């Protein structure tokens, strides 16, 4: 049974700035940076104005007033479905918001802190798309260094190969702030251990393709900057490898970060839709538009 906090489908008086596309999947990844209610409302207003935000995955969302304000503001801006699991005790969470009402929550495949890993099935142009949002914990305080991060990463690594069963015969998008970087990251950061690089590798092992790297194999890009100015590519978008040819665009954008709405770059993804078998009757189901 889905609670109102997990899925809100509300009719609002405000006319949405954009209507959901029916010829491509348009997804935006946004780190909410545990925003206050006032900043959460500004974040929702900014996102509602972005064309590529038909599906928005929010990471680092507060489980208290700021997160509640974000959910309310999104519905006021025309987001018909908001999947917003509430943790049993204070913790950050991940939210999936969709402009279309043709979306529904799916049980998280992650057994550890599943409120950080909500999942949903979204229908775009008559095609179902699987979406998994992720917010990996940071390293944590000294007395519990890496405990929550390791436990969540291990649970996600175990869950990734099961996405095919959860979302059969459809493209799957995994979007989130992983708090890890890829091998060969520029600049290099010695703080990361082998177990953290192995977590990034686990996506490829589970037949998920880094959408940004697919289109920009050699481009240096960062989504978060430390106090000394060093950049980190923490935010990632993955697409099921059999559907990688559908990736049309995947980029980082810094306007919201530079405006003080968040401390992370925003990521956007455009994904083409699978072609249904054509009228000729001979087109295989794996043909793509």
Examine residue 197 and state whether it is found in any structural domain, yes or no: yes
Examine residue 133 and state whether it is found in any structural domain, yes or no: yes
Confidence of residue 157 (pLDDT cuts 50, 70, 90): very high
pTM of the predicted protein model: 0.89
Confidence of residue 138 (pLDDT cuts 50, 70, 90): confident
Work out how many domains the chain is built from and give that number.
1
pLDDT score of 7: 47
Parallel, antiparallel, or unpaired: how do β-strands 55-61 and 24-31 relate?
parallel
Average pLDDT, the chain: 89
Q: What is the mean pLDDT of residues 208-218?
A: 97
pLDDT at 244 over 90: yes
Confidence of residue 197 (pLDDT cuts 50, 70, 90): very high
The parent domain of residue 33 ranges over: 7-13+22-272
Q: Which of the two residues, 59 and 14, has the higher pLDDT score?
A: 59
Examine residue 284 and state whether it is found in any structural domain, yes or no: no
* Lowest-pLDDT range of 8-22, 89-103, 113-127, 145-159: 8-22
Confidence of residue 284 (pLDDT cuts 50, 70, 90): very low
pLDDT score of 280: 34
Burial 236-250 (b: 16+ CB within 10 A, else e): bbbbbebbbebbeeb
Examine residue 230 and state whether it is found in any structural domain, yes or no: yes
Phi and psi at residue 70, in whole multiples of 5°?
-65, -45
pLDDT score of 187: 77
Examine residue 277 and state whether it is found in any structural domain, yes or no: no
Closest by CA position to 97, among listed 223, 6, 212: 6
Examine residue 217 and state whether it is found in any structural domain, yes or no: yes
Examine residue 281 and state whether it is found in any structural domain, yes or no: no
pLDDT at 14 over 90: no
Examine residue 280 and state whether it is found in any structural domain, yes or no: no
Q: What is the mean pLDDT of residues 22-34?
A: 97
**What percentage of the chain's residues is helix, strand, coil (to nearest 5)?**
25, 30, 45
Q: What is the mean pLDDT of residues 231-252?
A: 96
CATH code of the domain covering residue 194: 3.60.10.10
């Amino acid at each position: 049974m889905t609670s109102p906090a997990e899925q809100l489908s509300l009719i609002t008086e405000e006319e949405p700035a954009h209507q959901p596309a029916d010829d491509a999947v348009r997804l935006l990844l946004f780190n909410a940076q545990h925003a206050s209610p006032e900043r959460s409302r500004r974040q929702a207003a900014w996102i509602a104005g972005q064309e590529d935000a038909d599906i928005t995955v929010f990471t680092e969302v507060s489980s208290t007033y700021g997160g509640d304000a974000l959910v309310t503001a999104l519905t006021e801006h025309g987001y018909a479905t908001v999947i917003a699991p509430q943790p049993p005790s204070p913790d950050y969470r991940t939210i999936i918001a969709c402009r279309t009402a043709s979306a529904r929550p799916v049980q998280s495949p992650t057994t550890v802190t599943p409120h950080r890993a909500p999942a949903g099935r979204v229908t775009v142009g008559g095609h179902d798309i699987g979406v998994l949002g992720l917010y990996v914990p940071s390293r944590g305080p000294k007395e519990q260094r890496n405990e929550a991060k390791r436990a969540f990463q291990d649970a996600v690594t175990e869950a990734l190969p099961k996405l095919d069963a959860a979302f059969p015969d459809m493209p799957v998008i995994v979007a989130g702030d992983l708090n890890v970087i890829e091998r060969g990251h520029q600049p290099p950061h010695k703080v990361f251990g082998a177990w953290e690089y192995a977590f990034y590798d686990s996506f490829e092992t589970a037949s998920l393709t880094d959408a940004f790297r697919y289109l920009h194999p050699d481009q240096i890009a960062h989504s978060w900057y430390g106090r000394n100015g060093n950049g980190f590519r923490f935010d990632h978008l993955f697409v099921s490898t059999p559907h990688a040819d559908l990736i049309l665009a995947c980029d980082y954008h810094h306007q919201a970060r530079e405006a003080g709405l968040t401390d992370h770059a925003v990521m956007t993804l455009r994904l083409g839709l699978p072609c249904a078998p054509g009228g000729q009757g001979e087109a295989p189901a794996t043909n793509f538009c």
